A and B are shown apart, each in its own frame.
Chain A
Amino acid sequence: MSLLDTILGRTKPKGPQLSALFSLPAAAVTLETAAGLKTSGQAAVAFKTVSGGGFAATTTDLDALLELSAKESDSKLKQSEDSYGYHWIVITDPELEDLVGTAHAINTTLEEQGFGPQLLCSVFPFAGGTQTVNMVYLYKRGTFYPFASAAKETRDNQLELKVRALLDHELPIEKDLARWYPLWGLPLG
């Protein structure tokens, strides 16, 4: 934040960075060969809704677009609200490329309509054996971090750090570990 912004007490809403999402498919190859983790065939995009007609019109556009892309790529979509007031769009498709593509379509639609600052994160789960790790993409920072839940509301930090070591050169991994926030109760599965 600039000094002038501090003096005048204003913040500009932070816009999202969208392009880093496309480095995920390459990283997925490494995850599969080195750790045996494959996409679980789902992805989720979370954003905060805005009150008023402008956003309502945008979600109508979004629904039309999603219906179209679902027909083209055979992916399934499910929408829900979580207890924190965020809207989740869950995409189901066996191909990671299609998951990323559909997520990107959602992102750009919101961005074009000026609601880019409302994007929270998107989540791409990878599973293998008994383990599941969610790759969480932080829009505002353009970085990923791994989130693996072990038992009820505890994290498998070992797996998370292992994934970081594996993908460090292929994905922009969030360097500040304090920002690896847990996301309990994901509307996936």
Chain B
Amino acid sequence: MAITRFPEDKGLSARMGLTMFLLGLLYVVFVAVLFVVIKSVLFVLVLAGGLLFAQYFFSDKIALFSMGAKEVTREQAPELHAMVERLCVMADMPKPRVAIANTDVPNAFATGRTPEAAVVAVTRGIMHRLEPQELEAVLAHELSHVAHRDVAVMTIASFLGLVAGLLTRVLFYSGIYGGGFGGRDDRDGGGAAPVMVIMLVSALVYVISFLLTRALSRYRELSADRSGAILTGAPSQLASALTKISGDMGRIPTRDLRKAETVNALAFAPAVSKGFSLSSMFDTHPPLQQRLDQLAEIEAELGKSG
């Protein structure tokens, strides 16, 4: 019997499962509260559902557009294509489309709801800064996101936060201008109390789901690091790529970065609309040290002889 070299991280899986369970629980409680307090939640759900749908089906285009990335053909970037192809052969997955963003900020991201519709994108900055083996490690990380269907998972996971955030905003403004829910409820003699309750609950739900979604995103990142490092067989290459990028990322304030931030603030669910970027931009990623520690662990596991 052959030896199994590539162990999974049971602790990581367990923590991720718990986070998802809590998100689901929060969702159920939130919906229950909504139905008890007001009956006309339908329009909120339809609106939020529409946004979710759009984000789910156009996630690849949204992400590519917000990063200014363009799909490249095999002739335009033969080495990048060959690198992706070989990794896909190793992992036995369909080859995603390949895109390059013409910006100097070192970053990479993957997007698309299914492995068949996926796009893997890198910036010019990352291609210039990294050695080929490091770039390959980064691509393996992004391909792992594709294989794990992280865009679909995170879109669904952030749905609740989206609804709650929307509801908070709608009620806040309708309260200010005295229209919307408040006005109608007043005529029935119900008063503003239920609206206040929904607003508070929504705000609370929004905060909690935001934190949980971020935690989930960080676990997905660690998972992608693990799978990617195992795919290339060289955890140290990903570690050195991360060190280079995070170092540069923290230091260079360029116009492109501010532009990226503006786009991100406009989007409802940052983790989804910007795809799965490699750098630790918006706390959707675990701290560098934690990622390096995990990679060192994998390195040790792989290195065991016999």
Write the residues of chain A forming the contact surface with B, with a CB cutoff of 8 angstroms.
Answer: 1, 5-15, 48-57, 83-86, 111-118, 120-121, 138, 140-141, 153, 176, 178-179, 181, 184
**Which of B94, B219, B233, B302 counts the most A-chain CB atoms under 10 A from its CB?**
B233
Q: Give the residue name and chain of the A residue nearest to B85 (CB).
A: A181
Within 8 A of A (CB), among B213-251: 219-220, 223-224, 226-227, 230-236
Given contacts A9-B148, A178-B95, contact A51 B2 (CB under 8 A): no
* Distance between Cα atoms of A57 and B304 in the complex (Å): 10
Given contacts A57-B305, A140-B91, A181-B82, 18 further A-B contacts (CB under 8 A): A5-B148, A8-B223, A9-B13, A9-B150, A11-B147, A14-B90, A51-B234, A51-B299, A51-B302, A53-B303, A54-B305, A85-B232, A85-B234, A112-B3, A113-B5, A121-B89, A178-B94, A181-B85
- Pick the contact of A84 from B86, B224, B235 — CB < 8 Å? B86
Question: B304 contacts which of A1, A13, A53, A179 (Cβ < 8 Å)?
Answer: A53
Assuming the contacts A49-B233, A86-B86, asked whether A54 and B302 have C-beta atoms less than 8 A apart, the reply is: yes
Q: Is B149 in contact with chain A by the CB < 8 A criterion?
A: yes
Asked if B90 and A48 sit within 8 Å, CB to CB, the answer is yes
Q: Are B86 and A120 in contact (CB under 8 A)?
A: yes
Residues of A with C-beta under 8 A to B2: 15, 111-114, 116
Contact A138 B89 (CB under 8 A): yes
List CB contacts (< 8 Å) of B130-168 with chain A.
Answer: 132-133, 136, 144, 147-150, 153
| C-alpha spacing A5/B153, complex, angstroms | 12
Nearest first, the 4 A-B pairs at minimum CB distance are A52-B303, A114-B3, A50-B233, A140-B92
User: Cβ of A140 and Cβ of B90 under 8 Å apart?
Assistant: yes
Complex Cα distance, B144 from A152, in Å, reads: 33
Chain B residues, Cβ within 8 Å of A9: 13, 16, 148, 150, 153, 219-220, 223-224
Would A85 and B132 count as touching, CB distance under 8 A? yes
Is B20 close to A, CB under 8 A? yes
B8 at the interface (CB under 8 A from A): yes
CA distance A48 to B236 in the complex (A): 15
Interface assignment of B189: CB less than 8 Å from any CB of chain A: no
- Spell out B's residues near A (CB within 8 Å): 2-6, 8-9, 13, 16-17, 20, 78, 82-83, 85-86, 89-92, 94-95, 132-133, 136, 144, 147-150, 153, 219-220, 223-224, 226-227, 230-236, 299-300, 302-306
Partner of B91, one of A11, A52, A85, A86: A11
Contact A114 B90 (CB under 8 A): no
Query: With a CB–CB cut-off of 8 A, which chain A residues contact B8?
Result: 10, 12
How far apart are the CA atoms of A113 and B219 in the complex, in Å?
30
* Number of inter-chain CB pairs below 8 Å: 134
- Asked whether A117 lies within 8 Å of B303 as measured between CB atoms, the reply is no
13 A–B contact pairs at CB < 8 A?
Answer: A7-B20, A13-B230, A14-B90, A53-B305, A84-B86, A114-B3, A117-B5, A118-B90, A120-B89, A181-B82, A181-B86, A181-B89, A181-B95
Q: How far is the CB of A145 from chain B (nearest CB, A)?
A: 11
Contact status B89-A1, CB under 8 Å: no
Q: How far is the CB of B102 from chain A (nearest CB, A)?
A: 24
Contact of A51 among B13, B20, B82, B303 (CB under 8 A): B303
**B304 close to A52 (CB less than 8 A):** yes
Q: In the complex, A173 Cα to B232 Cα: how many Å? A: 26
Query: Is the Cβ of B17 less than 8 Å from the Cβ of A7?
Result: yes
Which of A140, A141, A153 counts the most chain B CB atoms within 10 A?
A: A140
Task: Report the minimum CB–CB distance from A104 to chain B (whole Å).
Answer: 15
Cβ contact within 8 Å between B83 and A6: no
Task: Contact check, B234 vs A10: say whether CB atoms are below 8 A apart.
Answer: no
A121 nearest in chain B by CB position: B89
CB-based nearest B residue for A136: B89
Docked complex Cα distance between A38 and B134 (Å): 40
Least Cβ–Cβ distance between B118 and chain A, in angstroms = 13
B233–A11 CB distance below 8 A: no
Which of B89, B231, B304 has the largest count of A CB atoms less than 10 A from its CB? B89
A13 contacts across to B, CB distance below 8 A: 5-6, 230-231
- Which residues does chain A contribute within 8 Å of B89, judged by CB atoms? 120-121, 138, 140, 179, 181
Give the CA-CA distance A118 to B149 in the complex, in Å: 23
Contact of A50 among B17, B91, B153, B302 (CB under 8 A): B302
